[in-house]
Structure 1
Amino acid sequence: MSGEAHEKDTKSLEEFRLGGFTYSLQTNELKDENGNAVHLRSQSTEVLEYLVRRHGELVSKSDLIENVWSDTFVTDDSLVQCIADIRRALNDTEHRIVQTLTKKGYKLEAIPVSDDTLDSSGNSGPISFRITSKFGSSWFLVLIVLAFVTGVSIFTWWNTATDFEPIDSATLNFPLPEKPSIAVLAFDDLSQGADKGYLSDAISEEIIARLSHFPDFFVIARSSSFFYRDKALAVRDVATELGVRYILEGSQQKAGDRLRVAAQLIDATDGNTIWAATYDRDLVDVFDVQEEITRTIAATLERNITLAEYDRLLRQPTESLAAYELVNRGRSARKKFTPEGNQEAKLLSEKALELDPGYSEAYFSLAWVHINCFRWEWCGDQPHEGALDRAFMAARKAVQLDPDSSLAYWTLANATMQSGDLEQALIEYDRSIALNPNSAGVLADSTEVLVYLGQMDEAIARIQAAIRLNPHHPDWYLWTLAWAQYFAGEYEAGLASIQKMANMPNLARRTQAALYVRLDRMDEAWATIDELLENAPDYTIASQEHSLRGKFRDPGAADRFYDDLRKAGLPD
């Protein structure tokens, strides 16, 4: 469509719906669903007006700056602030209404208000959306190939490959994905003994991991699935909260060398069980049971996956059940995110490797131990010197043993980021994501390197995608989101994100204080740094500089962060 034709069409229309809001070109007013005016700064209003007149089209940053600030020289920061202002006014936290097309510009999703879009009261009602793909059921594979061939990020293709269309599913917390969507709940453990809980969790986690590798599925992350352990909620309610259609639940019971596993797959839209089975096996056959359950689910939900794809993704991770249990115990210890937990994970990973020197995931776990030693100085009985080299050795060994392991490339990506080789780190992160598109942890972790590279829009898109995959995410997701929003200039949104944390780590107060400074809330900034120093009296600007040295492609971004911390009272 030409600009001239579009302008002609728009002139005949006066009101547009933006999510649950309406905007009038006649009065230049934005109103909420109750008809109340929503305040916007004058420049933000001009940006919104221009986007509305060009709704549905890609509008470049240079086009916006030229038309809104025609007589004034401004930098991209002014435009970014206006876009952030508009998104806050529209509650567009997921950037669905004002979409960013990385390195290209913005696109506004607006619907002209006409008689057929008004409700019985004459007001335009809120609308919900479902993400759909222009590329069909194999869309993500197409994106991966295109990204690899062209060198364009997977998430750039995501932005251009998705539309939002109306659905009448107001009861959903999230719109149902177009792909088959599933949450695997923590299996009940009916066993007795000191190791109660480990095997049942391991069975559930392994099924999640195996299903996650299929790009044609949408799989909720483990921490969100396990959130419902011991909660008396109906399956339909769980599915509604998570925004999925299918739920897998089950139980396991170990008695001596025998194992019983029961599982059932439920379609939560009607509450019907579409498949159920019970497996009575020898304990050493636990991997076969996991594979059969995964294979059956995959075949039930998507019949176009070939047997070759099953065989590639469903390999048995180790011949040693004892090594398997040690690695799962090590994962639990590592997730405590403490020096003691890191040391425990190191010992358990090393014991697992003594039992099976070819176990890739044990090297993955050991690599994280060494990364934590290098970054946080959680080294226990090992020297801090050479920690990054040890992390690289373990990560590369994990990749060598299993070149199709998303986890292996994840640790290699993080170690590479710690070394300061940001471009290569992003390549490794994208390899990990391509191998497991449903890994919320990798998506969230990759946000950090994008911030260092200055790719703020994509950084925010990734952490928000991770939150969708893992609605009951750990608190550090919110810290990461707030940190990215700070560097993107979205200060109010960043503060809102960090204040949602249930238990704020002490170092997260650095980000919170810097956001307060940017919002000119100095009393709160000073109080936040006072609290940080109560818990870490020796922490200084020099400590912060050490952790970020050489990582930002734009050193000025780091300098602005340090200056904000100085203004908040952090000593040099």
Structure 2
Amino acid sequence: MLGRRGVALLRRLLETAGVPVPKDALVEAGWGGLAVADNNLTVQIAALRRVLASTTDGESWIETLPRRGYRYVGPAVVVRDVSARAASAPTLPEKPSVAVLPFSNLSDEPGQEYFCDGMVDDIITGLARINWLFVIARNSTFTYKGRAVDVKQVGRELGVRFVLEGSVRKVGRHVRVTGQMIDTSTGAHVWAAHYDRSSDDIFALQDEMANAVVGAIAPSLRKAEIDRVKRKRPDSLDAYDLVLRAQLDVDSGMPEQVTRALTLLERAIDLDPSYALAHGNAAMCHHCLFLRTGLQEVNRVASIRHARAAMLHGQDDAAALTLAGFSIGMDGHDRIAAFTALEAALDISPSSALTYILGSVMLGWGGEAERAIEWSERGMRLSPFDSWAFAAFDAQAMSHLLRGRYDEACHAAYKSVQANPAHSITYVQLTAALAKLGRSDEARAAAARVLELQPAFRYSRQFAGVNCAPALAEIMGEALRGAGLPE
């Protein structure tokens, strides 16, 4: 069955049967003013071909013209005229919607305008790679360039829930970029930040700043959406809303919460069996249950099954690929396949902080200490207040432990505890670091907190479950045993 976009693309191809239709024209037909990554069109065309394949030779009716577009070459079809678009303002889409307005150039040099515009282009492109966002294309938002605007009015005119506006001030080699995301329905600030950088390579700086802005915006928008969905009646939730409502419990990483999340995720999957992010989150829930409730094979199998479903249906979804790769690597112990998925996620969304953070955890347990620290720091730079920040600090703590840097390990572990004080593994890292520093009383107190949160914790099971590198298992095991944690 074709979705709305598939029908629109087929109609556009049929209207000019036998004549090439450029990619831009198809994107306009299927997505209107929305900025989308190229692979979205490829996915929709593939879906069209699958539907047409039910007819003899139907799969070949849509011809690919490399670097040009597509052409319908099948039997003649009469296409009825459609009514003109309503003149009223567009309605809000179901998914969160964003318009990025041109940034103000506060530099003394008018010639720096290209730098501001280029950065906005990069931010729009980066946000468009996040498949749960509806992003207005540049051609629409740049009509506001040089105008004083009311963001609420912009929201009504473009049909978006959020507007991002900002400014750039460049003096010599120093650049300051400020940005703020505003909810157009209330005028409230969802996110605001400023970045200071110095660079001789203006284009590299432009890319870095755009990635930083996109990486910071994504979790803020997700949180705003979760808050919105919490206000909806339970009987009015669709698959997207159910996944959002489950998200905070998924992110907790603890059995009671993820069990609650699975109830919502299973409802979402019943409504939409091909919902990749629902499968990815379900995989993460079963991963948590596998590690924290006794390494039961049923949870490991379910984690991998949902991960494979997420990879099958989420080829354009960086978050789904990331969660799937994590489960394949941690529960399936196939880190080559895991990082193949993570690299695909970064190809889709280079600013995906979650990909770097969960990748750092796998690298940490795998004993690749320096690379784990590098990935965790990249993730935290993209999203300093990410809900998965505790995992990045865990990766740093175990990596510093492996390298014998116990003060740094302790510092990272305390950050992890602060970020997620209800997660048992954060206290495992802290226990090991304190024990290595000879702070025995504090280590035993941290160990007691591990068992309070996870009474069945046994460090040998934890190490086996995550396929811990032998050298790390030896160092941590000795420290945890000395602090009184059972093997």
TM-score, length-scaled by structure 1:
0.44
Closer/same/farther in 2, CA of residues 268 and 416 from structure 1, 3 Å limit:
same
* Superposition pairs of residues 244-323 of structure 1, within 5 angstroms: 261=160, 263-269=162-168, 322-323=238-239
| Aligned-partner Cα distance in 2 for 1:213–1:370 | 39
How many correspondences in the alignment?
298
Q: Residue in 2 aligned with 1:400?
A: 312
Whichever residue aligns with residue 489 of structure 1, its letter is G
Corresponding residue of 1:511: 429
Out of 418, 427, 430, the position equivalent to 2:340 is: 427
Q: Which amino acid in structure 1 is aligned with residue 480 of structure 2?
A: L
Deviations 1:481-510 (A, max 9, x none): 222221232211111222234253343222
Query: Which residue in the other structure is 1:357 paired with?
Result: 273
Q: What residue number does 1:522 align with?
A: 440
Give deviations 1:164-215, integer Å, cap 9, x for gaps.
xxxxxxxxxxxxxxxxxxxxxxxxxxxxxxxxxxx999516999xxx99979
**2 CA distance for matches of 1:420 and 1:473?**
26
Please give the residue correspondences for 1:373-388 in structure 2 after superposition, counting only pairs within 5 Å.
373-377=289-293, 384-388=296-300
Equivalent-residue separation in structure 1 for 2:362 and 2:453 (angstroms): 28
What is the rounded CA distance, in whole Å, between the counterparts of 2:247 and 2:325 in structure 1? Answer: 19
The equivalent residue for 1:203 is 96
User: Which SS does the other structure have where 1:520 is aligned?
Assistant: coil
1:491 maps to amino acid? Y
**Quick one: structure 1 residues 325 and 528, their matched pair in 2 at CA, closer, same or farther if it must change by over 3 Å?**
closer
Pair 1:343–1:538, CA change in 2 (3 A) = closer
Could you say if the C-alpha distance between residues 200 and 522 of structure 1 is closer, same or farther in structure 2, counting changes exceeding 3 Å?
farther
Single out whichever of 343-352 and 454-463 deviates more from structure 2.
Answer: 343-352
1:473 alignment partner in structure 2:
386
The structure-2 alpha-carbon separation of the partners of 1:554 and 1:528, relative to structure 1 and needing over 3 Å to count, comes to closer
* 2:293 partner amino acid: E
* AA at the equivalent of 1:415: S
1:484 aligns to 2:399 (yes or no): yes
Q: 1:553 to 1:538 in 2, by over 3 A?
A: closer
Over 3 Å counting, the alpha-carbon distance change for 1:325 and 1:482 in structure 2 is same
CA distance in 2, matches of 1:478, 1:443: 12
Aligned-residue offset at 1:277:
12
Question: Who is 2:370 aligned against?
Answer: 457
| Alpha-carbon shift at residue 353 of structure 1 (Å) | 2.7
Unpaired runs of 5+ in structure 2?
A: 1-91, 101-118, 131-149, 170-176, 186-205, 208-235
| Aligned counterpart, 2:190 | none
The structure 2 residue matched to 1:497, chosen from 408, 412, 415, is 412
**What percent of counterpart residues are identical?**
24
How far did 1:408 drift? Answer: 2.9
Matched letter for residue 521 of structure 1: R
1:559 equivalent to 2:474? Answer yes
Shift of residue 346, structure 1, vs aligned partner? 2.0
Matched residue, 1:546: 461
CA distance in 2, matches of 1:434, 1:456: 24
Determine which of 260, 271, 282 is the counterpart of 1:344: 260
Matching residue of 2:358: 445
AA of the residue aligned to 1:203: P
Offset at residue 555 of structure 1 (A): 1.6
CA deviation digits over 1:387-434, x for unaligned, max 9?
Answer: 222222222222222322222322331222222223332333222223
Structure-2 change in CA distance of 1:206 and 1:367 (3 Å)? farther
Deviation, 1:562, is 0.7
- The Cα offsets for residues 365-387 of structure 1, whole Å up to 9 and x where unpaired, read as 322232223222399xxxx4422
Secondary structure, aligned partner of 1:386: helix
* Structure 1 residues 358 and 527, CA gap change in structure 2 (3 angstroms): closer
Q: Secondary structure at the match of 1:549?
A: helix
Separation (CA, whole Å) in 2 of partners of 1:374 and 1:537:
15
The counterpart of 2:325, out of the listed 413, 426, 440, is: 413
Which secondary structure state, in structure 2, belongs to the residue aligned with residue 352 of structure 1? Answer: helix
Name the amino acid aligned to 2:258.
N
User: CA shift at 1:260, angstroms?
Assistant: 6.1
For 2:483, the equivalent position in structure 1 comes to: 568
Task: Measure, in 2, the Cα distance between the counterparts of 1:443 and 1:410.
Answer: 9
TM-score, with length taken from structure 2 = 0.51
1:548 Cα deviation from its structure 2 partner: 1.1
Deviation digits for residues 261-316 of structure 1, max 9, x if unmatched? 4543322446999999989xxxxxxxxxxxxxxxxxxxxx99xxxxxxxxxxxxxx
- The residue aligned with 1:106 is none
Match of 1:368 in 2: 284
Point out the structure with the larger helix share: 2
What code does the residue aligned with 2:323 have? T
CA–CA distance in 2 between the matches of 1:482 and 1:494? 4
1:529 Cα deviation after fit: 2.7
Query: Partner of 2:242 in structure 1?
Result: 326
The 1:251–1:339 alpha-carbon spacing in structure 2 relative to 1, beyond 3 Å, is: farther
Aligned residue for 2:15? none
The alpha carbon displacement at 1:354 in A equals 2.8
User: Contact 2:239 / 2:268 at 8 angstroms: preserved in 1?
Assistant: yes
Counterpart amino acid of 1:365? N
Distance in 2 separating the partners of 1:461 and 1:212: 27
Q: Which residue of the other structure, out of 349, 353, 357, is the alignment partner of 1:436?
A: 349
Gap change, CA 1:251 and 1:340, over 3 Å in 2: farther
User: Residue 565 and residue 403 in structure 1: after superposition, are their counterparts in 2 closer, same or farther (change >3 A)?
Assistant: same
| Partners of 2:453 and 2:121 in 1: CA distance | 41
Partner residue of 1:238? none
Q: Please list every run of 5 or more consecutive structure 1 residues that lacks an aligned counterpart in the other structure.
A: 1-198, 223-248, 280-300, 303-319
1:336 offset after TM fit, Å?
Answer: 4.1
Q: Show CA shifts across 1:3-38 (max 9, x none).
A: xxxxxxxxxxxxxxxxxxxxxxxxxxxxxxxxxxxx
Note if contact 2:424-2:450 (Cα within 8 Å) is conserved in structure 1.
Answer: yes
Q: Aligned partners of 1:447, 1:499: CA distance in 2, in Å?
A: 18
Q: 1:266 is matched by which residue type in structure 2?
A: E
- CA shift for structure 1 position 561: 1.2
Shift of the 251–362 alpha-carbon distance from structure 1 to 2, 3 Å rule, reads: farther
Which residue of 1 is the match for residue 251 of structure 2?
Answer: 335
Residues in 1 aligned to 2:319 and 2:362: alpha-carbon distance in whole angstroms: 17
